[in-house]
């Protein structure tokens, strides 16, 4: 009695294993080896067939999306700069975009009255700074 039940369980295990192996084989064969966008027609043309020859100019170049660091860096444009200027006795930092529109970034801790007359004149006219590094150096020189 136990012998027939063991044999039946053994046969069920064998058949189930064969089915699983066959399914895995079919899946491995059907699985694409190249992404769909990169698949190439690998058939060789015969004398009667014409190969679709597309001009490279038919394809538009893919424009890459700027990285988040590039999006956040407002100094990417060549026509942009920083302007450090005195307004109402306070030294303020502005970002001037490519259209020439100033955008106030911050009011510094620099005390205008304690500056020399030459420095006051510099900030009254406005000091143009090209990079974030130059801006940091300028502000550090006057804030300390």
| pLDDT-based confidence at residue 35 (cuts at 50, 70, 90) | low
pLDDT computed for residue 143 by the predictor: 79
Over 90: is that where the pLDDT of 39 sits?
Answer: no
Span 38-61, average pLDDT: 52
């030294």: which residue's tokens? 91
Both tokens of residue 121? Answer: 């004149």
| pLDDT-based confidence at residue 69 (cuts at 50, 70, 90) | low
pLDDT computed for residue 6 by the predictor: 78
Q: Residue ranges of the domains in the chain?
A: 73-143
Over 60: is that where the pLDDT of 48 sits?
Answer: no
Q: Bigger pLDDT: 126 or 43?
A: 126
* Separation of alpha carbons 91 and 34, rounded Å: 60
């Amino acid at each position: 009695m136990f012998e027939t039940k063991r044999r039946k369980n053994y046969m069920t295990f064998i058949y189930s294993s064969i089915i699983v192996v066959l399914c895995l084989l079919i899946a491995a064969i059907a699985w694409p080896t190249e992404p769909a966008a990169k698949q190439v027609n690998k058939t060789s043309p015969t004398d009667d067939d014409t190969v679709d020859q597309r001009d490279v100019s038919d394809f538009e170049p893919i424009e890459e999306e700027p990285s988040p660091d590039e999006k956040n860096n407002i100094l990417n444009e060549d026509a942009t700069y920083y302007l450090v200027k005195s307004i109402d006795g306070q030294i303020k930092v502005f970002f001037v975009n490519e259209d020439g529109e100033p955008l106030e970034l911050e009011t510094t801790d620099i005390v205008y009255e304690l500056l020399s007359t030459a420095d006051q004149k510099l900030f009254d006219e406005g000091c143009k700074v090209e990079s974030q590094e130059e801006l940091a150096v300028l502000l550090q020189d006057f804030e300390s």
